[in-house]
Structure 1
Amino acid sequence: MQVLIFVVVIVVLLLLVALTKGIRVVKQYELGVLFRFGRLVGTRSPGLRFIIPLVDVLRQVSLRIVTMPIQSQGIITRDNVSVDVSAVAYFRVVDAVKSVIAIENVHAAINQIAQTTLRKVVGQHTLDETLSETDRINLGIREILDVATAEWGVQVTLVELKDIQLPDSMKRAMARQAEAEREKRAKIISAEGESLAAAALGEASDIMMEHPLALQLRNLQSLVEIGVDKNTTVVFPAPLMSTIGELGSFLARETAAAAPTAPSDTPKAVPGPEPTETV
């Protein structure tokens, strides 16, 4: 009797263990791929699923988007510049059966092919294109990965270049180039300003030629502005000094012209009778 009870207990325990092994929970973001004696039976949707222990194998495949960083790659661009480029790829499984049957480890495979594709695509562009046309490079990498991973039931949704490391010598050269570009623009702007200023001064000189007093008023205004600082030594410009001299001469002439004529002490000669002629 005791032996029978022991056997019954053992059988119950085995049934409980088998029942535990035969219960699977497929999450909402997963899809189950069922194999029976190594042969594909089909897929199982999310929920509570029962399988036959030691007979069935249920592989649960995540359908969520996976973020995979692509480690930095040493790449030589088309113009023979060595750069280190890292990126990030986003992909998701669209066919759970293919992702299990067609390839052993889909994540490792995508990581490796993404690295080789990154080196291939960036190596076909120059350094300037790599720095300025990242959108086109990202699109090219994604298209190549899409073609390669379609047979694995995987769709690459996005690829982005994350970081581009340049050699120190190239950074210094680019800094010098940028500085030269800024100096070039500064000189052009300064020359344009000088041209506009010269044109404005030409127009002002024409107006002052028509109105001479305008130049003198401008000189006086400059003297007033200079005289604000009491410690400033004022140097009169030559045109102002000549004007002052001319003004003094003008005043002297006007004074001489306005002065009355002084009376003379010398007697005047009185005319005598005219001589008569005798025949």
Structure 2
Amino acid sequence: MQALITVIVVAGVLLLLGLALAVRIVKQYEQGVLFRLGRVVGTRDPGLRLIVPVVDVLRRVSLRIVTMPIQSQGIITRDNVSVDVSAVAYFRVVDAVRSVVAIENVRAAIDQIAQTTLRKVVGQHTLDETLAETSKINLDIREILDVTTVAWGVEVTLVELKDIQLPETMKRAMAKQAEAEREKRAKIINAEGESLAAAALGEASDTMMAHPLALQLRNLQSLVEIGVDKNSTVVFPAPLMTTIAELGTFLAREQAAAVPAPAVATSNGAVTAPAATVTDPSDIP
């Protein structure tokens, strides 16, 4: 009786051990690749799966998107500028069998091929192109990686340049270039403003010449603006050209009055002097 109980216990332990070796759980984001005596016999979907212990081996492969940083690479651009560029790649397994059979370590392989591709693509561009055309560079890197990784059952979904480190001398040169560019634009804008202002002033002067009272009204408006401050001294501006013309008329009239008129002989032989010319005070400007 004791021997029978021992046999039952041993059989139960062996059965539990066999079940433990035979039961496999494939998660929802995984796919199982089943090997039987070293040969691939198919894939297993997510769920509870049974295999033959010792004979079968089930390799579980994750189908989720993997984020893989590409470490910084020292790269010399096409215009001989040394930069350090780092990136990040996103990939996922689309064929579980090939990702297990075709290559030993998918992640390590993609990491190495991504580094060499990054150096190759960035080295074909100038510094300005690298800074301005990152989208094109990302697309080029992704296309090259896709061509290589399609045989591994892996799809590269996205590649993005993450950081571009420039030498300090290049940073200072670019800062000077940007400053000079802004100064150029500021001078152009200032010149355009001066041109517009000059054109507006020319139109205003033409209007004032056509309407003389417009200048007087403008002078009065200036006086009103100046008169806001009670402590200011107001000097009324007179039209300069009009004042000079009136002064010239007055001087000519005075010179004509200062010349003596010739004596006039009367009928009885007497000589009379011309009457003095009296200037009307109202004629004085």
Structure-1-length-normalised TM-score:
0.82
Q: How far apart are the structure 1 equivalents of 2:29 and 2:169?
A: 49
Q: How far apart are the structure 2 equivalents of 1:246 and 1:230?
A: 33
In the alignment, which residue of structure 2 is the partner of 1:36? 36
CA deviation vs aligned residue, 1:16-52 (integer Å, no higher than 9, x gap): 0111111011122211111112121111122211011
Correspondences of 1:1-279 after superposition (within 5 Å): 1-237=1-237, 239=239, 243=243
What secondary structure is seen at the aligned counterpart in 1 of 2:110?
A: helix
What secondary structure is seen at the aligned counterpart in 1 of 2:74?
A: strand
Structure-2-length-normalised TM-score:
0.81
What secondary structure is seen at the aligned counterpart in 2 of 1:67?
A: strand
Q: How far apart are the structure 1 equivalents of 2:51 and 2:233?
A: 106
Q: Which runs of 5+ in 1 are unaligned?
A: 254-268, 272-279
The more displaced of 208-217 and 136-145 is 208-217
| Contact preservation (8 Å) 1:77, 1:124 | yes
Q: How far apart are the structure 2 equivalents of 1:60 and 1:150?
A: 20
Cα separation, partners in 2 of 1:160 and 1:217, compared to 1, 3 Å: same
Report sequence identity in percent: 82
Cα separation, partners in 2 of 1:240 and 1:168, compared to 1, 3 Å: same
Structure 2 counterpart of 1:210, which letter? A
What is the CA RMSD across the aligned residues, in angstroms? 2.5
Q: How far apart are the structure 1 equivalents of 2:113 and 2:38?
A: 29
Q: How far apart are the structure 2 equivalents of 1:241 and 1:33?
A: 105
Q: Which runs of 5+ in 2 are unaligned?
A: 254-265, 269-285
Q: CA deviation at 1:108?
A: 1.1
Q: CA deviation at 1:217?
A: 2.1
Q: How far apart are the structure 1 equivalents of 2:119 and 2:235?
A: 72
Runs of 4+ in 1 over 6 A off after TM superposition: none
The more displaced of 54-63 and 1-10 is 1-10
Structure 1 counterpart of 2:6, which letter? F
Cα separation, partners in 2 of 1:136 and 1:171, compared to 1, 3 Å: same
| Contact preservation (8 Å) 1:29, 1:63 | yes
Equivalenced residues, count = 252
CA deviation vs aligned residue, 1:65-118 (integer Å, no higher than 9, x gap): 212121222211111222221211111111111100110110111111111111
Q: CA deviation at 1:168?
A: 2.3
In the alignment, which residue of structure 1 is the partner of 2:257? none
